[in-house]
Structure 1
Amino acid sequence: MARAPIKPITLKELAAMLELSQSTVSRIINGEATAHRIAEETQQRVLHAAALNGYIANTMARGLRQKRTYTIGVIVPEISEGYSTTVISGIEDELLKDGFFYFVVSHRHRADLLEGYPRMMLARSVEGIIAVDSPVNEDLPVPLVSISGHDRREGVINIELDHDQAANLALSHLKTLGHKHIAFIKGQPFSSDTVLRWQAIVQAARDLHIEIDDRLVFQLQSPEPGPAPGQEVTRHLLQSGQPFTAIFAFNDVTAIGAISALRDAGLRVPKDVSVLGFDDIMAASMHHPPLTTIHQPLRSMGQVAASTLLSLIRNEVPHPQPEAITVYPRLVVRKSTGHSIHQSESISQSADEQPPVLRTTDGAI
């Protein structure tokens, strides 16, 4: 016998259950809590109880009355573990507080999708768009906030990391450990951060008197997410035969791929080669060895982007509006980097050994 559907709780019943006024509960449900200075703890209590007891707000009726959709669109390169998902979680944190709905699309670096998605979102009456490491090249009739997009156009607010500080932190750490022969893995050409981050690395190296050997600079090419592109480019690095004692990778998943390739070649991290990543995704601390990395506050970047977009939608951003909002990195030292002893030894290859040949430093923490 089919079970009867559970009757959703009403606003009056929800307010009585929580011993709050109906107006307070309504303001929280309808995204007006901030304007009425309702405590965060009370907001969370109401939203939790509403979800637990099946309360359904009449959002459609509210939208029709106010000519609003309370919906934003989020554009990302791909939805995979790491960068995008952490940023999206921060976006969600802020939107939930204000009763906004959002949907996410991933373009996988396809030009047709990059061009078509903003139009698709506008057709669905979004009130604003957040683009994560994704170029939006046309002017839109709704507010746009760009995370790591470096989109210098009127009406667009960018959420950006201080790459100069990040590069200085990373290279200062490797220099302190004695590394002189550093290999660099640059990001893919399509990533918005690639050029700016590399410019910051070149300047930091100049300031720290670190020589960059062009023969030790490699670039990711594959658009595939995950560690595979990092494995591939590190194999090319090893096959070059150039001596190096450390790798500074474009991001953590690349660093994880690099470590895998180094192990396949019979090398130890960090005793033979130190590896430094970028982003500080969740997997970085759980990898073996735990990854030394530049912490990019990804969740905070999502939160700032969402709160900024909501302020733009409400016309609460002062004019002229800022071109960019800067967030700052920090160095997280774990076990994948160690001291170099400045004494190169040749790792040779016999007939029954696995390739490739590498000259490296036998150093340890």
Structure 2
Amino acid sequence: MSPEPQKGRAPSIRDVARLADVSHQTVSRVLNGHPSIRDETRQRVLDAMEALKYRPNRAARALVTSRSRTIGVLSATTGEYGPSSSIAAIEDAAREAGYFVNTANLAASTPAAIVDALKHLVLQDVEGLIVMAPQVRVFDVLAGMAMDIPYVSLQSTGQSDHRALAVDQIAGARAATQHLIDLGHHEIVHLAGPQDWIEAEARMRGFLDAIIDADLRTHPPILGDWTADFGYYAGRELSRYRDFSAVFAANDLMAIGLMHAFRDAGLDVPHDVSVVGFDDIPVAQHVSPPLTTVHQEFREVGRRAVALLLGELRGEPVSQSEEIVPALVVRGSSGPVHAALVHY
């Protein structure tokens, strides 16, 4: 019998069954990993699938198994290095475990937009959800929707109704600020992230903890939007006052914008002002001067998120997730406070 199906159509499960000389129910059992199939029968079916170039239809398999083998990812950011790296790692780890990934990116962070994105994922029959949208309002919406599928977040919200995989943002921000304090800086400004962002709040808290413990004067934080453009704008404004000797920016893009503005204002980094960022994006080591920052393992975060969610789907006992501690990377943008800047 020829292995070729009728011309003009894709091979079906019945074509595989005919070529392997088994029933289509047997082919279905092979596809779903049923333990009752003999090894030689399973191999005959696999050989027929390969000869026909047969690819199982995911929708049909979902009807048979009541499982879509799909993980949903809810993301509030697109294009940035950190989230993109985590999503790529999530997709790699999911594929290794036999899962597909369906991602919904929030075009806006309004409650209506969040609900629409979640409904889209639910309609795709995702078995579980990874939340990479780090705003408090996202979790408020999730709680209000009473989701009946397990989900894992990449930020700790203090809630106990889901598993959280947290990077210790507070410890990272504290290390960055303490580094500046150890260099002799007593007047340190914080360029923060947007309000309602869990990461921004945690990094501000780490900054304030270090400042308070060192009994230093607290400058009002500047609320940014994560962009280099805002960093440049803030740097131009800060250059007019000079009542500080260092800036800790809540992410690298704002820090790079800051350094650009300081350079345009005739200030030398780090002689006149030290700058520290957060994230350690690839370009951070190539700007002038290379940026001191806090390194995050974004791919490791994505990999662990999949492992945590799959454990939930398998019904494994819930255990406390170990926080990932970021590491300070010292480069050329931070240096000892200049003698003329110690007192104002």
Query: In which range does the TM-score fall when normalised by the shorter chain?
Result: 0.7 to 0.9
Check whether the contact 2:232–2:258 (CA below 8 A) recurs between aligned residues. Answer: yes
Report the Cα distance in structure 2 between the residues aligned to 1:97 and 1:86, rounded to whole angstroms: 17
Q: CA deviation at 1:57?
A: 4.4
Deviations 1:172-220 (A, max 9, x none): 211222222211111100311222222222122233x1514325x2111
Report the Cα distance in structure 2 between the residues aligned to 1:174 and 1:234, rounded to whole angstroms: 18
Alignment gaps of 5+ in structure 1: 11-25, 33-53, 347-358, 360-365
Report the Cα distance in structure 2 between the residues aligned to 1:96 and 1:147, rounded to whole angstroms: 19
**What's the Cα RMSD here?**
3.2
Find out whether 1:205 has 2:211 as its counterpart. Answer: yes
Check whether the contact 1:30–1:98 (CA below 8 A) recurs between aligned residues. Answer: no
Residue type of the partner of 1:125? D
Matches within 5 A, 1:129-278: 129-132=129-132, 133-134=134-135, 135-137=138-140, 138=143, 139-150=146-157, 152-154=159-161, 156-207=162-213, 209-215=214-220, 217-220=221-224, 222=225, 226-239=227-240, 241-278=241-278
Report the Cα distance in structure 2 between the residues aligned to 1:212 and 1:251, rounded to whole angstroms: 22
Matches within 5 A, 1:1-365: 56-107=55-106, 108-132=108-132, 133-134=134-135, 135-137=138-140, 138=143, 139-150=146-157, 152-154=159-161, 156-207=162-213, 209-215=214-220, 217-220=221-224, 222=225, 226-239=227-240, 241-316=241-316, 318=317, 321-322=318-319, 324-344=321-341
Residue type of the partner of 2:338? I
2:166 is paired with a residue whose SS is strand
Residue type of the partner of 2:95? L
1:233 is paired with a residue whose SS is helix
1:130 is paired with a residue whose SS is strand
Q: CA deviation at 1:130?
A: 0.9
Report the Cα distance in structure 2 between the residues aligned to 1:212 and 1:69, rounded to whole angstroms: 55
Higher strand share: 1
Higher helix share: 2
Check whether the contact 1:31–1:100 (CA below 8 A) recurs between aligned residues. Answer: no
Report the Cα distance in structure 1 between the residues aligned to 2:117 and 2:299, rounded to whole angstroms: 24
Q: CA deviation at 1:55?
A: 7.3
- TM, length-normalised to structure 2: 0.77
Percent identical residues:
31
Residue type of the partner of 1:120? H
Check whether the contact 1:164–1:204 (CA below 8 A) recurs between aligned residues. Answer: no
Q: Count residues with an aligned counterpart.
A: 299
Residue type of the partner of 2:173? A
Report the Cα distance in structure 2 between the residues aligned to 1:92 and 1:258, rounded to whole angstroms: 34
Report the Cα distance in structure 2 between the residues aligned to 1:294 and 1:345, rounded to whole angstroms: 25
Residue type of the partner of 2:258? A
- TM, length-normalised to structure 1: 0.73
Deviations 1:50-70 (A, max 9, x none): xxxx87344344333211111
Rg (Cα) greater in structure: 2
1:179 is paired with a residue whose SS is coil
Q: CA deviation at 1:262?
A: 1.2
1:136 is paired with a residue whose SS is helix
Q: CA deviation at 1:313?
A: 1.4
Residue type of the partner of 2:219? D
Report the Cα distance in structure 2 between the residues aligned to 1:236 and 1:31, rounded to whole angstroms: 63
Closer/same/farther in 2, CA of residues 178 and 195 from structure 1, 3 Å limit: same
